[in-house]
Amino acid sequence: MSEPRIPLLSIEESKQAAAKMEVPEAIAELSVFRILLRQPKLAKRVNDLLMTLLIGGALDARLRELIIMRIGWSTGSVYEWTQHWRVALQLGVDEADLLAVRDWTERSHWSDADRVILRATDETLESGAVTAETWAECARHLPSHEEQLELVGAIGTWRMISQILKSLEVPLEDGVAPWPPDGLAPAAGGD
C-alpha cells in the first residue's frame, strides 16, 4: 500500500489531539483518526457520528455490519472491509454471511430483511438513493422511524468513510492483513 496522502500523526500526537476533543484514546490509535485528528473538529464530529450509529442504535447491529461490509467490498475500501471484518465477528456476525456480501445476489440463504437491506445499500451506491419499492419493503422490516433513519444514516456514513479512506489512501494499522479472511480483493474499483 502506498503512503497516505496526509501523513499520520504519531500515536502520541494523535492521543493528545484526541484528549483535547474528547475522542476516545483507542480511536486515536486507528490510522484513519491519526490523519483526521490533524483537523480535530472534523475528527470529533466523525467520531460522534460513528459512535451514534455503532453504540446503542436502533438498527440491528448485524444488519448494520452487513451494510458496512457491502460498502467496503463494493467500493474497494480495504480499510473499511478489514476493520469491520473484526468488528462484525466480535458482534457475532457469521463469517459466511460476511463473505457472502461479496456477491449477495447469488446467495439464497439471506432472510428477507437481509436481502432488502443489501438491495437498499446497492441502490444507494449506484444512484444515490433507495427506490420507492425498496423503501416500502425496508419499512416493513424496519418499522420504526429510528431504524429507518439509521439505515439511511449507516449507508451514507460508511459511504462517506469509504471515500475518505480511499481518497486519503489511509493505510491499515501495522501487522493487520488486508482483505480477511482470504486476502481476496474486489476487482479494481470495487464490485
- Summarize pLDDT for 22-66 with one digit per residue, the tens: 999 999 999 999 999 999 999 999 999 999 999 999 999 999 999
- Summarize pLDDT for 95-151 with one digit per residue, the tens: 999 999 999 999 999 999 999 999 999 999 999 999 999 999 999 999 999 999 999
Determine the 3-state secondary structure of 165 from DSSP: helix
Return d(Cα 66, Cα 85) in angstroms, integer. 10
Structural domains of the chain sorted by starting position, each given as residue range(s) with its CATH number in brackets? 11-54 (no CATH), 61-167 (1.20.1290.10)
Query: What secondary structure does DSSP assign to 92-114, as a single string?
Result: T--HHHHHHGGGGGG-S---HHH
Return d(Cα 6, Cα 164) in angstroms, integer. 11
pTM of the model: 0.96
Amino acid identity for residue 28 in this structure: A
Helices (H) and strands (E) in the chain, counts: 10, 0
Amino acid 2: pLDDT: 72
